[in-house]
Amino acid sequence: MTMKETKVSSVGERALISRLSEIFNAPEGKERGQEGILVGAGSDDCAVLDLKGEDCLVVTTDMLHRTTDFPPEMTPWQMGWMSAAVNLSDIAAMGAEPTGLLVAIGMLADTEIAFVEELAKGIQACAEFCETSVIGGDLDTHAELTITGTALGRVKKSRLLLRKGAKPGDLVCVTGYTGSAGVALEAIQSKKSVSETVLKALFEPVPRTREARKLAESGAVTSMMDTSDGLAMSLYDLARQSKVGFRIRKEALPILQEVREFASDPGELLEFALYTGGDFELIFTVDPGRLKKVQNICNLTIIGECTKYDTGIVLESPECRLTNIEQRGYLQLKAENS
């Protein structure tokens, strides 16, 4: 079967994005009118444009659908909050200050006005939380509720954080907790009860915009991204862009006690912590000589350190080690007896 005959469903989102990025092929560093492209499509959380001064503009966009992205239990307000949060989290991942959010909404023609108003209030609440505002957008009828957000941010070139920049010896840190959103989704699907705290991790993810700006200003962070696609995938993306490996300590993974109790066994707990997405925390690497500069900025946990690229991604634990395997454009982690 040729690539032209291959279906989207058999390729996967990441592999398709990679192929499209090759087609779009934004010429990084070359002039485009009044602005140059510093970071093009596909290599980072946001594209980065040169503003011809000390600053650069970061831009990102994301699309959410009712059937695939919003569990039935979510309120319209929470749908709006999440629609803004997924974009503003990408701005945070670059160490930038959000400067505006555009939102395009497609909805069924018979959607109630009260639903749309609550949706808008959720979007506005998240924008205000991140100290920015909705500056435009579009409305149209559509066969399914579809929300596309485009977020803009500004950061000094000297403080811009990318997925590349980590080096062997750097420490690996994360904010908040991992696996909470994954457990919330599993609880909903299996009709089990969890606390409001765990549910909010899925329904109302918090973009770490304030923490990210302070981390960028510290000068101690060497690379960063968010964990919206899961901790394992984020490690893979950082490894690929920075050309480093990782040694991660299983016992250091920050996991809520409720999440630990929800898991049926250690294997399922590891699945939640590594492979489920939706937490929207920051994962970043730090120069160990400058660790003190970031320790008081936010609730962070050191989970490991960077190693040489050819060592791969290894999870240290008495039970197993995990190594990275790239296949069809995404990361699989295979457990092996140590």
Q: Which residues of the chain have pLDDT under 70?
A: 1-5, 8-35, 41-42, 318-338
Determine the pLDDT at residue 325: 35
Per-residue model confidence as pLDDT tens digits over 52-88: 899 999 999 999 999 999 999 999 999 999 999 999 9
Q: What is the pLDDT of residue 44?
A: 77
Residue 60 annotated as lining a ligand binding site: yes
- 242 annotated as ligand-binding: no
Q: What is the overall mean pLDDT for the chain? A: 88
On whether 61 is known to bind a ligand per the annotation, the reply is yes
Model pLDDT, residue 333: 44
Domains of the chain: 43-156 (3.30.1330.10), 170-324 (3.90.650.10)
The 3-state secondary structure of the chain reads CCCCCCCHHHHCHHHHHHHHHHHHCCCCCCEECCEEEEECCCCCCCEEEECCCCEEEEEEEEEEEHHHHCCCCCCHHHHHHHHHHHHHHHHHHCCCEEEEEEEEEEECCCCCHHHHHHHHHHHHHHHHHCCCCEEEEEEEECCCCEEEEEEEEEEEHHHCCCCCCCCCCCEEEEECCCCHHHHHHHHHHCCCCCCHHHHHHHHCCCCCHHHHHHHHHHCCEEEEEECCCCHHHHHHHHHHHHCEEEEEEHHHCCCCHHHHHHCCCHHHHHHHHHHCCCCCCEEEEECHHHCHHHHCCCCEEEEEEEEEHHHCEEEECCCEEEEEEEECCEEEEEEEEC
At 37 the pLDDT is 84
pLDDT of residue 22: 66
- The answer to whether 229 is annotated as binding is yes
Known binding residue 226? Answer is: yes
pLDDT the model gives residue 27: 57
> What is the per-residue pLDDT for 25?
65
Question: Has 62 been labeled as part of a binding site?
Answer: yes
- Consult the annotation and say whether 330 binds a ligand: yes
Determine the pLDDT at residue 34. 42
User: Is 69 annotated as ligand-binding?
Assistant: yes
Judge whether 33 is annotated as a binding position: no
The CA radius of gyration of the chain, in Å to the nearest whole number, is 20
110 is in an annotated binding site: no
